[in-house]
Amino acid sequence: MGILEGKRILVTGVLTDSSIAFHVARLCQEQGATVVLTGYGRLSLVERIAKRLPQPPPVLELDVTDDEHLDSLAGRVAEHVDGLDGVVHSIGFTPQEALGGNFLNTRWEDVATAMHTSTFSLKALTTALLPLMKDGGSVVALDFDNSVSYPIYDWMGVAKAGLASTARYLARYLGEQNIRVNLVSAGPLSTMAARSIPGFEELASSWPQRAPLGWDVSNPEPAARAVVALLSDWFPATTGETVHVDGGFHSTGA
């Protein structure tokens, strides 16, 4: 019997089988959960990748910046499950103009896109699904350490800092509904999203040497396991927290 036996989990952000979200969905199923996926843009790709899971789940279209998609989301999810016990936010996007060392020259329009998609979407997704979480539950979002600045990460770093703050405020306001909101801050992983960041290899290159436990940029499973643990009942009194899964990199100095 798995730690998610009988639970119903919605997972966003599955695009390839190298994504953290894919491995979260796989582990959720292996631990006894029923999974629903959402995808944006290339639904046929998400549906094809979903077939590689132990049990191919339904895939729903979701643009988290589209109010119509959000307004209909709970109803569409309810066609497949009678409620939700967990939600995984694995969504982020920043225009290229807001990355790669262009911080001082980035226009507000590009920053606004980054903040809407990568930050505000956590609040938007969570509140859209509240009608299905009447018995409480767990919301887990994927983060990247934002306590310091990194080369080339630029406005995505700012957006991730906003994501962490959003999670804390959601934890404050949803605690009375027995809904926990936490973050998993993973080290750099060679996912499709990461590879779209100019200079990603430069950012990732120092991780294996500086992390006390080392770090494998090709292995998303440690981060996925942390997400699954937070979705389970093993953290009943933990909310507003950031769990670092980065080999300990965040805790070390130069």
Instruction: For the beta carbon of residue 134, count every other beta carbon within 10 angstroms.
Output: 11
The C-alpha atoms of residue 167 and residue 160 are separated, in whole angstroms, by: 10
User: Are β-strands 59-61 and 34-39 bridged in parallel, bridged antiparallel, or unpaired?
Assistant: parallel
**Residues with Cβ within 8 Å of residue 18, at least 6 apart in sequence:** 189, 190, 191, 192, 218, 220
Which residues carry out catalysis? 153, 160
Sign of CA dihedral 31, 34, 40, 41: positive
- For residue 137 the two structure tokens come to 């539950």
**Element containing residue 122 per DSSP (H, E):** helix 121-129
Selection from 251, 250, 180, 245 nearest residue 20 by Cα:
245
- For residue 126 the two structure tokens come to 């969570």
